[in-house]
Amino acid sequence: MKFKNRIKFVVIAITISFLGCVSPKDGQNRTLSNRKREIVLNSTFEVLIKKPVKDNLTYERDLPWDNISYNIRNDEYYSIGTAFSVSDKELLSAFHVIQLGEDSLVYRNYYIRDNKGNVYEVDNVTSFNKSKDFIKFTVKDYTFDYWLQLEDTYTINTTVFSVGNAYGEGIIIRDGNLIGTIPESENGQWVFLKSSSDVNSGNSGGPLLNSNGKVIGIVSSKKDNIAYSIPINEVISQEPNKGFFHYNLRYGFSLFPERLKAEYFDFSFDLPMNYQRIIKETKEIVNREYKLKMDMLFEENRGETFPNGNSSLEALIGNTYSFMPQVIFKDQTSKVWTISGIENKSENLRGEGSLSYSSLFDESFIINIDKPDKISLGELVSDSSKVMDLVLEGINVPRKFAGEDIRILSYGKPMESRFIMDDYGRKWKRSIWLIDFSDEVLISYTLPTPKGVYGIVTSSRSSNLHDLAYDYDKMLNFVEISYYGTFEEWSEFLSLSDLIPNRFKDISIYKNNDGKVVLDSSIFSVNDYQDIFENNSKLEITLDFDIFKKSEKNIWDIRRVVFAEENRDNFFVLYNNLKPQAAMRKAYKESWEDFLTVSHPFNSSPFIEDSSAKIGKLLNFDIGEEAPDEIFSIFLSKEGKVEDDLMAKYLDSINISLK
């Protein structure tokens, strides 16, 4: 049972349905004597975690605390399970209640509470077994006057009693019948006890008693109205002063077809040891193993992981043609790396801004923010909280609270921000927010653009932060991006030299003496063009960047340049067409053959399409010449009917220098 699920039980109204019981053998007691009940109640404790004391979130309206029952809203703890004393110093519970294998960033401490309301923090762990779901431990500065006796044998179809915390309502004893056993699911090395005694999530870790009030099991789970308990003989027979992890490690890369793998690995601890030290050392062990497995996974697949191998060829030669970031992923059917083509939704923001967003995975999405007028680009990219505030303005993200949806307006300041440089010199700002109420982390990766920011946003439980960050840090190398904006927007963008990708260091955009925009880079320059555009102040310049192969090296560089008049069909496109590899499909080779034969639409012959005049030509190749590996084309569109001679004149006036 995860923290998140346990907590939900105590912050919403719940109706509990009580189960019937199987009849026991004749003559068996259905109740415990008063003395035994006294011992049981004084030997059984709630297991607690402390409620978060802060909430950095801003909401559309106040949270309806009055809808939460008095005892829950005024308790400074969440009750998450049950434990019981077995000596004057030691207690037993289920391992999944005191979860040594998860390092929550919110719930760092565990406590117990007795039936008088006294609270004590867990101290040392003296025995545990993750796969058998039990833990033995002590608490700080306290010894017990009452404890339960253990019984390592049991009899089927006899009366049993489950004891535990009922959704934070206190310790409840319920009778039932021991109806059988079932082997554990992995390899059947031991059995669970099955009983009909009524339990709920708060019973986890509580004792299962026989009719004499002795412990025969530890309550672990419930399914189909059957309670499953770990036989106490599994606790008694374990090697003393040892703790055993049989850890189910899940790993994988989100963009691989087989996204998730699972492998068990074992390790142990010499005990006793403080529980927080065990959590810390377990995290270090698991993180090392995760990184080792992930590094091995990438090494095993290196030959066919983008941008390597024949499966990457089509993605390397393709172009995104998208104002949204696109992700290169390996198709599950074809096993070929493919540019995503993700569809998006758009929402207007105050101040002439906009938010476009696309779903990436279940808990992840891609964003493109055109910033509002009153926020400078430098201000936006330097303050991740402003970025997320704009996301929350465009997308209704509610917090479910006491049966109501309360819209979140702000996550506040992130707990951490740093820059991540991908393999292509792009500086992504990674910011992490801790969402205390749900024990989750929210991560954003953002890049500045002339108009605002691109980003990837994802979330997970806080204990999974290490794995999530590893996965998404790697994913940055598989993102294709286009940049577009007006001259003024480009000027502000290029001034952010410490934040923009290294590739922009030799790119300049300025106006010549005639007021026309000039683009200069290390591979080409656009120096001049005749009066193609009726309004140069409405001109937008787009640079489409792609990952492609050049001189046997994979680079991230400009593939496509567009000069376009806003809201008009007046534009010209400079495009770098790449020679297909021999292993590629026939369609790519046929398209390349069209260039080699200087076919339509790049044969310098004007034509009409969609009520606009069009014309195109090749810049660095003509029939009879030796074909280069890259052929640059220029394509021009003018709105309305334009004489053929004038279109040819416009095309020739576009002064492009290839370097």
Residue 658 to residue 634: CA distance in whole angstroms: 12
- Which amino acid is it at 458? T
Average pLDDT, the chain: 92
With beta carbons less than 8 A apart as the criterion, state whether 158 and 28 touch.
Answer: yes
pLDDT tens per residue, range 479-507: 999 999 999 999 999 999 999 999 999 99
**Which 8-state DSSP code applies to residue 271?**
S
Which H/E stretch holds residue 9? helix 3-11
Q: Which of 160-174, 209-223, 392-406, 487-501 has the lowest mean pLDDT?
A: 160-174
Residues of the chain with pLDDT > 70, as a percent, come to 95
Residue 554 to residue 298: CA distance in whole angstroms: 18
**Average pLDDT in the 548-553 region?**
88
CB-CB neighbours of 67 under 10 Å:
14
With beta carbons less than 8 A apart as the criterion, state whether 637 and 570 touch.
Answer: yes
With beta carbons less than 8 A apart as the criterion, state whether 135 and 112 touch.
Answer: no
With beta carbons less than 8 A apart as the criterion, state whether 651 and 615 touch.
Answer: yes
pLDDT confidence of residue 375: 95
User: CATH 2.40.10.120 occupies which residues in the chain?
Assistant: 3-245
Q: In residues, how long is the chain?
A: 659
Give the N- to C-terminal CA distance of the chain in Å, as an integer. 62
Q: How far is CA 383 from CA 57, 378, 456, in A?
A: 16, 9, 16
Residue 144 to residue 41: CA distance in whole angstroms: 12
* Tokens matching residue 371: 């910033």
Nearest CA to 571 out of 517, 618, 491, 624 is that of 517
User: CATH 3.40.1000 occupies which residues in the chain?
Assistant: 302-479
Whether residue 24 has pLDDT greater than 80: no
With beta carbons less than 8 A apart as the criterion, state whether 4 and 460 touch.
Answer: no
β-sheet bridge partners, residue 165: 171
- The CATH number of 302-479 is 3.40.1000
The three state secondary structure string of 445-513 is EEEECCCEEEEEEEEEEHHHHHHHHHHHHHHHHHEECEEEEEHHHHHHHHCCCCCCCHHHHHCEEEECC
DSSP H stretches of helix in 348-407: 377-382, 384-394
Whether residue 12 has pLDDT greater than 60: no
- Cα torsion at 379, 382, 383, 386 (round to 10°)? 50
**Average pLDDT in the 457-479 region?**
97
Nearest CA to 361 out of 327, 333, 399, 337 is that of 327
Confidence category of residue 200, pLDDT binned at 50, 70, 90: confident
**Average pLDDT in the 93-114 region?**
96
Residue 364 to residue 609: CA distance in whole angstroms: 40
pLDDT tens per residue, range 423-448: 999 999 999 999 999 999 999 999 99
**Average pLDDT in the 548-570 region?**
92
With beta carbons less than 8 A apart as the criterion, state whether 127 and 271 touch.
Answer: yes
Residues of the chain with pLDDT > 90, as a percent, come to 83
pLDDT confidence of residue 3: 41
Phi and psi at residue 283, to the nearest 5°: -60, -45
Sequence-distant (≥ 6) Cβ neighbours of residue 185 within 8 angstroms:
none
Whether residue 19 has pLDDT greater than 80: no
pLDDT confidence of residue 318: 86
Q: How far is CA 425 from CA 322, 493, 552, 556, in A?
A: 21, 16, 19, 9
Burial class (CB in 10 A: 0-12, 13-18, 19+), 120: middle
CATH classification (class only), 3-245: mainly beta
Degrees, nearest 5: CA angle 464-470-473: 130
Place of tokens 């003393």: 240
**Average pLDDT in the 364-378 region?**
96
Place of tokens 């391992």: 95
Which H/E stretch holds residue 432? strand 427-435
pLDDT confidence of residue 29: 64
With beta carbons less than 8 A apart as the criterion, state whether 580 and 592 touch.
Answer: yes
Most confident of 184-193, 327-336, 452-461: 452-461
Nearest CA to 480 out of 315, 241, 255 is that of 315
Residue 154 to residue 442: CA distance in whole angstroms: 48
